[in-house]
């Protein structure tokens, strides 16, 4: 067999292969079909709960032979044999029960026995043999991941899928159970379910056959629905209509699997969510069915999964955020999932789902922040592994350690979501015991998931002016943040740089130390990133940095960024980048000496860029920002001349003064107003310059326009025009 000697592990196993294992495989090749059947049955009894035996048989090539027998049976009725006596069956059952003494996988054994009892009534040899083959294969799949790999390599999936066309229910159930076991393993490529387009519709049609087919098929769907494309395929084949009735099945298992399936289908999927919200199950809306599943005396798994379904439907816009079923049911349920009484896994899932639910809605954030002391409850997420567990119980310590990262990142995510809008909540969070310290240490944790969540949390809190001024400064969060920025994946970088933007706001006391740490180079390099988000953040931070900065900082920014990069950013396809770059320019061109200095060295390029933008197809906001830059330039002493001598620009200003948009009119008028400004008490030569400019502008017809604008409806515009006129007269 080709798959035999793949891994060194196999070789070592091979050496231990006993003669008995060999014997089981040999019997599958016997000429007498009945002997073969008995061989398969014996093999089944031998492998149940015995991982070593499973590995042995796989190594010895049982799988291809079993698949061959399976397919043979499907194509011919050659192997038809007589009825199996019930005595034989009883004996088999007996021996099987005896194997319980071996390494037992309890549930596996039970399901296998159930199958056995089910198949008791079967009479046709061929079907019996095929079923037994599948049962053995299913048993092999219940072993290790390596077993699954071997099975998948032997093309078990297409063979089993093909078997589903057989009319025999017991056989179909055996195939589905085996497929389920294979597909829920992380080593199986889910794509294998979608390669044959007839598979999904056929599975849908099998859903009505029995509670078992429902259980297995929905499990397969839940595990194989990983992308929006998968969701669409399942949706298009009527998954919702087919699975919805299962939500009121008598079997808890079936209800639970159907619920899980819906949670996977609805996740970030508007189409599915919008359809779900209108589905009726036994006269009740699906959302009501889900709400009933949130009842507190039901198993936690069901409450949690139902809450997920409602959350996803809400996030997709299918349920309003102020709906009672969200505010009074889903949200409190998710908060309960975060409580200390729940298992660590449930607490992680609960917190993550809750964070996702309320992310865009400040009202939900406010409600959650007062529900059951959630903010304080989350502080407990950081106490794993607890000091107690380390001493008393090694097993518990291991369990705690495994979940510690997950718990921390979930808590950070939830804090980030809670604090993303409301100032009071942010205050509450930062006042939670050791919260800032926890974030700071979270920023340098080894787990990238925790780092990312911590920086998200920090970002959320950094939107608070008060926190920036107090706790952020007290805990010097900029230090780990800067460190994080040195070497991190893009995801983290986006969040970290965005946080940095806030830390660089002029009122932030962290601004000074960050500047001194040589952040400019780093930010400039961000502006060269391929990711638009990083480019925006880089330039945004620079913009904030330049705001009311001194000459030295501004000079450093211009030097580090370079005019070439600056102009590249001015033609960036991302409007956000363009806007922030214009913002940076505007901040650089403030206060007269700075304006004159920058314009004297880069005037030509800047004027060029401004012209280009004003001529290009840009939004009102971009043009407004550009006109504001012109207005700043017009405020300079020497820089003014760059406009006055540029008739093209003057024509453009004139055009925008007559634009239909008041904002653009105002910005353009501002510009002209600065040009005709006569500084009181300034030198005579400046006065003359002023006179000249006024004359030239009059010639160009600006006075008439200003006149008209004094009658404008917009009071700001009107006021600005009047002031400008006054300067004219002065």
Partner 1 sequence: MDAMAELGAGSLLLGDPAFNYQEAELNERLKRLYPAVNEDETPLPRSWSPKDKYSYIGLSQNNLRVHYKGHGKNHKDAASVRATHPIPAACGIYYFEVKIVSKGLDFLSSLLPLSPIPGWDKHSYGYHGDDGHSFCSSGTGQPYGPTFTTGDVIGCCVNLINNTCFYTKNGISLGVAFTDLPPNLYPTVGLQTPGEIVDANFGQQPFVFDIEDYMSEWRAKIHGMIARFPIGERLGEWQAVLQNMVSTYLVHHGYCATATAFARATETLIQEDQTSIKNRQRIQKLVLAGRVGEAIEATQQLYPGLLEHNPNLLFMLKCRQFVEMVNGTDSEVRCFSVRSPKSQDSYPGSPSLSPRHGATNPNLHSAGADSPTCSNGVTPPNKNKSHNKYPGVSSASSSSSSSPSSVNYSESNSTDSTKSQPHSGTSNQEETSDSEMEIEAEHYTNGVAENPSARIMNGTYKHQEILQAQDISLEDSCASRQLCGGNQAATERMIQFGRELQGLNEQLCREYGKNVTHKKMLQDAFSLLAYSDPWNCPVGQQLDPMQRENICSALNSAILESQNLPKQPPLMLALGQATECVQLMARVRSGSCSFARVDNFLH
Q: Which is nearer to partner 1, 322 or 490 (CB)?
A: 322
From 514, 504, 500, select the one nearest 546 (Cα to Cα): 504
Options 328, 394, 662, 686; binder of partner 1; rule CB under 8 A? 328
* Interface region with partner 1, contact rule CB under 8 A, candidates 229-237, 247-255, 368-376, 672-680: 368-376
Q: Which is nearer to partner 1, 373 or 402 (CB)?
A: 373
Rg (CA), the chain: 36
Strands 280-281 and 284-285: what pairing? Answer: antiparallel
The answer to the question of residue 82 lying near partner 1 (CB under 8 A) is no
Map the footprint of partner 1 across residues 421-450, applying CB under 8 A: none
Angle between helices 106-118 and 125-141 (to 10 degrees): 170
* Interface region with partner 1, contact rule CB under 8 A, candidates 124-132, 173-181, 327-335, 591-599: 327-335
∠ CA 577-578-582 to the nearest 5 degrees? 115
- State the maximum Cα–Cα separation within the chain, in Å, rounded to a whole number: 122
Tokens representing 61 are: 């090539």
Q: Which is nearer to partner 1, 204 or 314 (CB)?
A: 314
Q: Which is nearer to partner 1, 125 or 419 (CB)?
A: 419
Tokens representing 314 are: 């809400």
Options 73, 143, 332, 603; binder of partner 1; rule CB under 8 A? 332
CB under 8 Å to 73, separation ≥6 — which residues? Answer: 79, 126, 127, 129, 130, 133
The answer to the question of residue 388 lying near partner 1 (CB under 8 A) is no
Q: Which is nearer to partner 1, 18 or 295 (CB)?
A: 295
The answer to the question of residue 327 lying near partner 1 (CB under 8 A) is yes
Q: Which is nearer to partner 1, 193 or 291 (CB)?
A: 291
- Least distance between partner 1 and beta carbon 327 (Å): 8
- How far apart are alpha carbons 260 and 88 in whole angstroms? 40
Residue 284, H or E segment: strand 284-285
- Least distance between partner 1 and beta carbon 117 (Å): 13
- Least distance between partner 1 and beta carbon 394 (Å): 25
- How far apart are alpha carbons 72 and 611 in whole angstroms? 78
Options 32, 372, 512, 615; binder of partner 1; rule CB under 8 A? 372
* Interface region with partner 1, contact rule CB under 8 A, candidates 11-19, 251-259, 277-285, 365-373: 365-373
Backbone angles phi, psi at 285, to 5 degrees: -65, 145
Q: Which is nearer to partner 1, 367 or 520 (CB)?
A: 367
* Interface region with partner 1, contact rule CB under 8 A, candidates 165-173, 363-371, 617-625, 643-651: 363-371
Backbone angles phi, psi at 281, to 5 degrees: -120, 115
Instruction: Tell me the site size for partner 1, rule CB under 8 A.
Output: 14
From 651, 657, 661, 655, select the one nearest 673 (Cα to Cα): 657
Options 202, 373, 483, 708; binder of partner 1; rule CB under 8 A? 373
- How far apart are alpha carbons 435 and 453 in whole angstroms? 14
- Least distance between partner 1 and beta carbon 261 (Å): 25
* Residue recorded with tokens 């078990």: 156
Alpha-carbon distances, residue 614 vs 36, 308, 716 (angstroms) = 85, 49, 23
Q: Which is nearer to partner 1, 367 or 539 (CB)?
A: 367
Options 135, 367, 633, 712; binder of partner 1; rule CB under 8 A? 367
- Least distance between partner 1 and beta carbon 169 (Å): 24
Angle between helices 532-546 and 490-503 (to 10 degrees): 20
- Least distance between partner 1 and beta carbon 5 (Å): 47
- Least distance between partner 1 and beta carbon 297 (Å): 4
Map the footprint of partner 1 across residues 287-326, applying CB under 8 A: 295-297
CB under 8 Å to 331, separation ≥6 — which residues? Answer: 354, 357, 358, 364, 367, 368, 371
Query: Which residues are near partner 1 by CB under 8 A?
Result: 295-297, 327-329, 332, 367, 370-374, 377
């Amino acid at each position: 067999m080709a798959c035999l000697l793949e891994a060194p592990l196999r070789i070592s196993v091979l050496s231990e292969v006993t003669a008995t294992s060999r014997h089981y495989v040999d019997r599958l090749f016997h000429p007498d079909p009945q002997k073969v059947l008995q061989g398969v049955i014996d093999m089944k009894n031998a492998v149940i709960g015995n991982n070593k035996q499973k590995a042995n048989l796989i190594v010895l090539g049982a799988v291809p032979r079993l698949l061959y027998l399976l397919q043979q049976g499907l194509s011919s009725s050659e192997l038809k044999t007589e009825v199996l006596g019930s005595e034989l069956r009883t004996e088999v059952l007996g021996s099987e029960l005896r194997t319980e003494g071996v390494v037992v996988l309890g549930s596996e054994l039970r399901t296998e026995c159930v199958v056995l009892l089910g198949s008791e009534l079967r009479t046709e040899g061929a079907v019996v043999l095929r079923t037994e083959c599948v049962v053995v294969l299913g048993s092999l799949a219940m072993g290790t991941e390596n077993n699954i790999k071997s099975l998948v390599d032997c093309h078990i999936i297409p063979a089993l899928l093909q078997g589903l066309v057989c009319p025999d229910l017991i056989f179909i159930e055996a195939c589905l159970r085996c497929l389920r076991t294979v597909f829920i393993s992380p080593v199986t490529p889910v794509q294998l379910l979608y390669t044959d387009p007839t598979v999904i519709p056929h599975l849908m049609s099998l859903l009505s056959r029995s509670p078992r087919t429902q259980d297995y098929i929905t499990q397969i769907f839940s595990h194989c629905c990983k992308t929006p494309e998968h969701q669409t395929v399942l949706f298009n084949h009527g998954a919702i209509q087919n699975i919805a009735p299962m939500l009121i099945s008598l079997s808890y298992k079936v209800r639970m699997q159907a619920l899980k399936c819906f949670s996977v289908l609805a996740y970030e999927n508007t189409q599915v969510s919008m359809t779900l919200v209108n589905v009726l199950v036994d006269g009740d809306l699906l959302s009501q069915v889900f709400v009933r599943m949130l009842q507190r005396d039901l198993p936690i798994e069901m409450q949690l999964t139902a809450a997920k379904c409602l959350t996803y439907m809400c996030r997709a816009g299918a349920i309003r955020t102020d709906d009672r079923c969200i505010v009074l049911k889903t949200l409190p349920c998710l908060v309960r999932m975060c409580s200390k009484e729940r298992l660590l896994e449930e607490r992680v899932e609960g917190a993550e789902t809750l964070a996702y639910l309320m992310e865009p809605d400040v009202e939900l954030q406010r409600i959650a922040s007062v529900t059951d002391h959630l903010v304080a409850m989350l502080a407990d997420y950081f106490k794993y592994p607890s000091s107690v567990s380390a001493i008393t119980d090694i097993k518990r310590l291991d369990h705690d350690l495994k979940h510690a990262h997950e718990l921390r990142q979930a808590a950070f995510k939830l804090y980030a979501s809670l604090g993303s809008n409301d100032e009071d909540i942010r205050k509450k969070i930062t006042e939670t015991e050791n919260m800032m310290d926890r974030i700071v240490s979270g920023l340098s944790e080894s787990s990238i998931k925790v780092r990312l969540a911590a920086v998200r949390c920090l970002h959320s809190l950094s939107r608070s002016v008060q926190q920036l001024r107090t706790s952020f400064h007290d805990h010097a969060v900029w230090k780990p943040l800067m460190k994080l920025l040195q070497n991190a994946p893009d995801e983290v970088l986006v969040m970290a740089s965005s946080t940095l933007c806030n830390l660089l706001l002029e009122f932030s006391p962290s601004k000074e130390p960050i500047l001194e740490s040589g952040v400019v180079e780093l930010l400039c390099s961000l502006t060269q990133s391929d990711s638009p988000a990083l480019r925006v953040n880089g330039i945004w931070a620079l913009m904030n940095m330049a705001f009311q900065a001194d000459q030295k900082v501004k000079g450093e920014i211009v030097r580090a960024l370079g005019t070439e990069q600056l102009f590249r950013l001015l033609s960036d396809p991302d409007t956000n980048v363009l806007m922030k770059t214009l913002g940076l320019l505007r901040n650089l061109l403030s206060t007269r000496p700075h304006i004159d200095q920058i314009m004297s060295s880069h005037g030509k390029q800047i004027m060029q860029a401004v012209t280009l933008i004003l001529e290009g197809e840009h939004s009102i906001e971009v043009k407004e920002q550009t006109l504001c830059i012109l207005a700043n330039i017009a405020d300079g002493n020497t820089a003014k001349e760059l406009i006055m001598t540029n008739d093209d620009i003057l024509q453009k200003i004139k055009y925008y003064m007559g634009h239909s948009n008041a904002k653009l009119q105002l910005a353009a008028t501002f510009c002209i107003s600065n040009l005709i400004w006569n500084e009181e008490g300034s030198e005579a030569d400046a006065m003359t310059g002023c006179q000249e400019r006024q004359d030239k502008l009059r010639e160009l017809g600006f006075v008439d326009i200003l006149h008209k604008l004094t009658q404008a409806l917009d009071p700001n515009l009107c006021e600005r025009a009047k002031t400008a006129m006054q300067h004219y007269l002065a």
